[in-house]
């Protein structure tokens, strides 16, 4: 039996999110002053658009209203996506981040910023950008060598089509 409120909420809501074609990435219950906020983060391999988020929000709200999972007090339900600088935790997160620039905290210490090229069951093939005019280099990294990984926002990245022109 689940012990924490987040675990109970996950058990209640995850089947509903999955039925909408999305993955339940995160659940958090926060107190903001006297109010409580239930934050639900959803995603899919193709992303989640506003219509999907609105649909799942309505479905979650109805499910929560018919259960006592949030107790008697008032709360606000917020449903959204992970955002641009998402933390990569699950295998599917790395797959979704292919071709994205990621900052890795390595278990041996140190950091690495590289673009994910491919993902398999053991790890990642990366392209480490060249510095000061040097060419990019290839690198393989095992999942066991990664302590943390976070997608980086790129403002000046050229589209592949632009690079080939």
pLDDT of residue 133: 80
Phi, psi for 4 (deg, rounded to 5): -95, 155
pTM of the model: 0.72
pLDDT of residue 47: 82
- For the chain, state the CA radius of gyration: 19
Range list of H helices, 2-49: 5-19
pLDDT of residue 162: 46
Tens-digit pLDDT string for the chain (165 aa): 446 888 889 999 999 999 999 999 999 988 878 889 999 999 988 888 899 999 999 999 999 999 888 887 889 999 999 887 888 999 999 999 999 999 999 999 999 999 999 999 999 999 998 888 889 899 999 999 999 999 998 887 655 544 444
Which tokens in the block code for residue 76? Answer: 């606000």
Burial annotation 116-127 (CB, 10 A radius, 16+ → b, else e):
beebeeebbbbe
């Amino acid at each position: 039996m689940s012990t924490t409120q987040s675990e109970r909420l996950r058990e209640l809501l995850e089947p509903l999110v999955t039925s909408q074609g999305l993955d339940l990435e995160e659940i958090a219950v926060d107190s903001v002053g006297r109010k409580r906020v239930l934050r639900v983060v959803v995603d899919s391999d193709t992303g989640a658009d506003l219509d999907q988020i609105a649909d799942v929000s309505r479905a979650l709200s109805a499910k929560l209203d018919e259960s006592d999972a949030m107790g008697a007090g008032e709360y606000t339900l917020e449903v959204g996506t992970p955002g641009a600088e998402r933390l990569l935790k699950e295998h599917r997160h790395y797959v979704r981040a292919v071709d994205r620039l990621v900052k890795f905290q390595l278990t041996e210490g140190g950091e690495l910023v590289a673009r994910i090229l491919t993902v398999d069951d053991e790890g990642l093939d990366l392209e480490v950008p060249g510095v000061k005019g040097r060419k990019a280099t290839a690198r393989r990294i095992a999942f066991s060598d990664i302590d943390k990984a976070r997608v980086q926002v790129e403002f000046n990245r050229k589209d592949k089509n632009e690079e080939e022109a």
